Amino acid sequence: MKNEMYLFVTAMENTLEKHQKKKGDSWKDCDIEFLENKLVEEYNEWKDSKDKHELVDIANICMMLYNRKLMSIWKES
């Protein structure tokens, strides 16, 4: 399983790096609703195309939402 995880995480990192110059860490400050809507959008893109790269986009949005939730818990502490 480690090889499969490595391949997937590497694909996630490559996608994030590709967008880093343009978008930076804007996901850390945008509305959560924007990320939620983006997740639905990316899912629909995958559903329509079955392009495996859309799954990486979905995973990255999930990572962002997960970390935003953690950040909000830390702020409350």
Confidence of residue 47 (pLDDT cuts 50, 70, 90): very high
Would you tell me how many other CB atoms lie within 10 Å of the CB of residue 2? 6
pTM: 0.89
- pLDDT, tens only, 1-15: 799 999 999 999 999
As a whole-number percent, the residues of the chain with pLDDT over 90 amount to 88
Distance (Å, rounded) from C-alpha 37 to C-alpha 9? Answer: 23
- Taking the domains of the chain in order of start, what are their residue ranges? 2-76
Q: Enumerate residues 6+ apart whose C-beta is below 8 A from 11.
A: 53, 56
